A and B are shown apart, each in its own frame.
Chain A
Amino acid sequence: GDSVTQTEGPVTVSESESLIINCTYSATSIAYPNLFWYVRYPGEGLQLLLKVITAGQKGSSRGFEATYNKETTSFHLQKASVQESDSAVYYCALGDNYAQGLTFGLGTRVSVFP
């Protein structure tokens, strides 16, 4: 079946430092997977951070970037300079175009300290 593997947390980083959360995927049932990063801030629901549906494309949002790399089956999330407000749990996920369910990674808890 499909699977997503991401950096095991918790990850602790100081404010204004860079952050990278690795994500690799295996899509055995989907020919052209869509890739997602969702984020869950403390006390809030799961929110879409960014989405990329085409291999080779980059998505960006709130200073975060992720590039869909089909060759390495990766979708790493990066931010050059984090803020305390970026403390959250980040989930990498894959799905298809046809409104099917998503396959999630385990989530990576990130804590940013001032």
Chain B
Amino acid sequence: GALVYQYPRRTICKSGTSMRMECQAVGFQATSVAWYRQSPQKTFELIALSTVNSAIKYEQNFTQEKFPISHPNLSFSSMTVLNAYLEDRGLYLCGAREGANQAPLFGEGTRLSVL
């Protein structure tokens, strides 16, 4: 079946350092990948959407300089949190779609703690 794997599941980084998380689509072609963050006591907030052969689109309050994303092929995407601080804590979810009219499949998320 179609699955999305994210790793690491949990990570801790020191304030001011960077952390890279990965998203792997298995059993389908991830033509679009969306990255979300769930901060404490909040819902899932869209960070950016990456579609193959198109520029990555970042939402307001999120920038490429802070959250660079790579989507090199139809099965893999990665996102880095650069210069992480306390406000970057949370659960980062990757949602991948094969195409239009397909509901996104989500990984289990990467939980980031910042010391």
Report which A residues bind B (CB closer than 8 A). 34, 36, 38, 44-48, 51, 53, 91, 95, 97-107
Contact = CB atoms under 8 A, between A and B. Distances in A.
Given A48-B103, A99-B100, A105 B109 contact: no
Interface in B19-63: 31-32, 34, 36, 42-44, 46, 49, 51, 59
Interface residues of B, number: 26
B13 interface: no
Given A45-B107, A45-B108, A46-B93, A104 B101 contact: no
A103 B45 CA distance: 7
Given A99-B32, A101-B34, A51 B103 contact: yes
A19 B106 CA distance: 25
B44 A91 contact: yes
Given A46-B93, A51-B103, A106-B43, A99 B31 contact: yes
Given A45-B108, A46-B93, A104 B100 contact: no
A106 B42 contact: yes
Nearest to A36: B103
B71 interface: no
A98 B57 CA distance: 14
A103 B42 CA distance: 12
Contact of B36 (A51, A101, A106): A101
B104 A102 contact: yes
B106 A46 contact: yes
The residue among B4, B59, B95 with the most chain A CB atoms within 10 A of its own CB is B95
A91 B46 CA distance: 14
A48 B101 contact: no
Given A97-B100, A97-B101, A101-B49, A107 B108 contact: no
